[in-house]
Every structure is written in C-alpha cells, then in structure tokens.
C-alpha cells in the first residue's frame, strides 16, 4: 500500500471519528466537514484537514457535555444540597421552638439566648422556607431538571442576605462569634468559605447545565 493510499485512508478514519465524536445537534456541521475533506485533492492537506476536524469535534463535544449527566457528580451535588437543607431546617426549628415557647425545657438554650432574643420571628420562618426549597432542589437535581438552578440560587441568596442583615446588627453577636472563632484558630474560617465555594460551584454547574441544549 502506497503512502498516498495510507494517508487518504487515515484521513477518512479521522473524519469518521470526528463525525462519531461530534454532538447530535452538530451532525450537519460534521457531515459538511466530511464532504469538504473529499474535495481536497492533496493527501497531506486532506490529512491535516481531518485532524483539524477531529480536534474541532472534540471541542464541540466538550462544550456540549452536561456535568450533571455524570451520576457521581449529580448525586454528590444532591447530597451537599440535602445537608444544607437539613442545616437550614434544624436552625429554623430550633429558633422557632424558642421564639414560640415550645418545649424550651428540653433544650440547652442558655448559651444562645442573647442571639435568639434579638432574632426576629420572620428570620427562622424565611430560613425554614429556604430549607424546604433546598429539599425540592435535591429532587430536581436528581431528575436533571433545569429548574434546579433557581431552586439552589434562591436559598443561597436568602442566606447571604440574612448574613448581611446579621452582620449589620451589632446586637446579633455575629461579629463577636467570628472574632472568637478566629482567635481560637485562624483555620476555623476555612470551612464556611469552602462550603460557600462548593455551593457556588454547584450553582455554576447547574447554570451551565441550564444553558446547554439537551441531547436528542
């Protein structure tokens, strides 16, 4: 077999691989690349064109891939959001229990009384609603729904807003709490920052998933 025949055969195989790799919504584009390769008379140019087609197809495939289509990623995201939901519902239940005077004798409230006293009733109610939305987000993530992005971003925005409100109120004690935690260990602030970073990354993945066309 001559070098020319080998080059032409290799170029056809590369074009076939490029068509196979390209996403479904780019099928016509991949077929056009294949026809263009057949029109190139020079074998070396055809081989270069085929390599370029394969590279472009791989790039398009990576762009069209949905991160949440991988079940380990999807279940990991759902587990993290579920932990946030449990934390939000636990805080809302604990605070509402004190504010409404329900079963106060069974909980170690004294260390938290100053903070609970200045906490308005609407705050735990809002946090509880955010926890319910986060539980809904877990289901939406597992079902790969595009609405999952909004179901995660909304509670995150509420949490950041409540933190800003607490931070602006000296009587809330948030500044003293952060200062005490930092004095005990500078690394104590790493975990909240890491948790926020993970949640933001999940939001970005869901946003990308929302913008990516669903595979046919």
Query: What confidence tens digit (pLDDT) does each residue in 50-78 have?
Result: 788 888 877 777 666 666 677 788 899 99
- Is 56 inside any structural domain? yes
Question: Quick one: pLDDT at residue 114?
Answer: 67
Residues 92 and 150 in one domain: yes
- Is 54 inside any structural domain? yes
Is 0.95 topped by the overall pTM? no
Residues 40 and 147 in one domain: no
- Is 216 inside any structural domain? no
Residues 97 and 114 in one domain: yes
Residue 126 has pLDDT above 90, yes or no: yes
Gap between the Cα atoms of 17 and 24, Å rounded: 14
- Banded model confidence at residue 216, pLDDT cuts 50, 70, 90: very low
Domain count for the chain, please give it: 2
Single residue among 16, 39, 64 that ends a domain in this structure: 64
Evaluate whether 155 touches 138 at the Cβ level (below 8 Å): no
Gap between the Cα atoms of 84 and 201, Å rounded: 14
> H helices of the chain, where?
3-21, 27-38, 43-64, 71-99, 113-117, 122-142, 148-168, 174-184, 190-211
The Cα angle at residue 127 between residues 172 and 117, in degrees rounded to 5: 30
Structural domain of 26: 3-64
What would the two tokens of residue 108 be?
A: 């170690």
What would the two tokens of residue 90 be?
A: 């636990």
């Amino acid at each position: 077999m001559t070098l020319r025949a080998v080059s032409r055969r290799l170029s056809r195989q590369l074009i076939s691989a490029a068509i196979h790799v390209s996403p479904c919504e780019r099928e016509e584009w991949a077929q056009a690349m294949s026809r263009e390769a057949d029109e190139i008379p020079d074998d070396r140019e055809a081989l270069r064109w085929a390599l370029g087609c394969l590279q472009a197809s791989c790039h398009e495939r990576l762009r069209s891939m949905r991160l949440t289509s991988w079940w380990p990623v999807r279940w990991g995201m759902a587990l993290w959001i579920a932990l946030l939901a449990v934390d939000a519902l636990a805080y809302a239940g604990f605070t509402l229990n004190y504010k409404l005077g329900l079963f106060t004798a069974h909980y170690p409230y004294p260390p938290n009384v100053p903070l609970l006293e200045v906490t308005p009733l609407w705050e735990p109610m809002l946090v509880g609603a955010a926890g319910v939305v986060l539980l809904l987000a877990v289901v939406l993530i597992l079902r790969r729904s595009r609405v999952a992005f909004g179901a995660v971003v909304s509670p995150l925005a509420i949490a950041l807003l409540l933190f800003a409100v607490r931070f602006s109120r000296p009587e809330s004690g948030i500044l003293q709490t952060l200062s005490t935690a930092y004095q005990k260990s500078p690394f104590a602030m790493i975990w909240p920052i890491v948790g926020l970073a993970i949640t933001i990354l999940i939001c970005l993945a869901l946003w990308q998933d929302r913008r990516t066309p669903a595979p046919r």
